């Protein structure tokens, strides 16, 4: 069975709403299993066992959250060489423009040698229905692409 890991950090709840929407999109694809985990709870085993990953964070000071960075720090050494071309997508809840958080995540994903498969969702300001719909689509595209063997 195909498994997608949705890893996120949320303090105020906006990124959690986005993560839940991504998870909903994943669950709409039959035959795909989804794990929704806070970054502080996600493990190297979760990363190694998944077939694709969705990464979510609020933007703090033009950067990703410390909790998501901690997930990367805790898993990088053991993941090296075992996650080559693993498909990934990103979603960000931004008070500003989200570009700094996006750039920092994409740089780290290059180090892991993940494969970016869809444009990120960056929600600027309050989360609206359009942002939620875009997150559902993000999860759906990742899941469907894996299910069809595209990624």
pLDDT per residue as tens digits for the range 47-56: 999 999 999 9
Average pLDDT, integer, range 99-115: 97
User: Per the CATH hierarchy, to which homologous superfamily does domain 2-147 belong?
Assistant: Flavodoxin domain (3.40.50.360)
- The confidence score (pLDDT) of residue 95 equals 87
Average pLDDT, integer, range 98-125: 97
CB atoms within 10 A of CB 29: 21
Average pLDDT, integer, range 105-122: 97
Residue 100 confidence class, pLDDT cut points 50, 70, 90: very high
143 vs 17: CA distance, rounded Å: 19
Tokens 């071309």 belong to 85
Per DSSP, 54 falls in state E
- The confidence score (pLDDT) of residue 133 equals 98
| Mean confidence (pLDDT) of the chain | 97
Tokens 């990367």 belong to 72
- The confidence score (pLDDT) of residue 96 equals 87
- The confidence score (pLDDT) of residue 139 equals 98
Residue 105 confidence class, pLDDT cut points 50, 70, 90: very high
pLDDT per residue as tens digits for the range 3-37: 999 999 999 999 999 999 999 999 999 999 999 99
**121-124 and 87-94 as β-strands: parallel, antiparallel, unpaired?**
parallel
- Asked whether the beta carbons of 116 and 67 are under 8 A apart, the reply is no
- The confidence score (pLDDT) of residue 120 equals 98
């Amino acid at each position: 069975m195909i498994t997608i890991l949705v890893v996120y950090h949320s303090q105020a709840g906006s990124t959690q709403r986005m993560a839940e929407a991504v998870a909903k999109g994943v669950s709409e694809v039959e035959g795909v299993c989804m794990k929704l985990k806070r970054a502080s709870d996600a493990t190297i085993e979760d990363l190694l066992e998944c077939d694709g990953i969705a990464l979510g964070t609020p933007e703090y000071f033009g950067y990703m959250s410390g909790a998501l960075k901690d997930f990367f720090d805790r898993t990088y050494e053991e993941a090296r060489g075992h996650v080559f071309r693993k498909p990934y997508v990103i979603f960000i809840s931004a008070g500003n423009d989200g570009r700094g958080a996006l750039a920092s995540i994409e740089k780290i994903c290059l180090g892991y040698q993940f494969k970016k498969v869809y444009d990120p969702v960056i929600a600027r300001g309050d989360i609206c229905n359009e942002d939620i719909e875009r997150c559902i689509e993000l999860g759906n595209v990742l899941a469907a692409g894996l299910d069809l063997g595209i990624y």
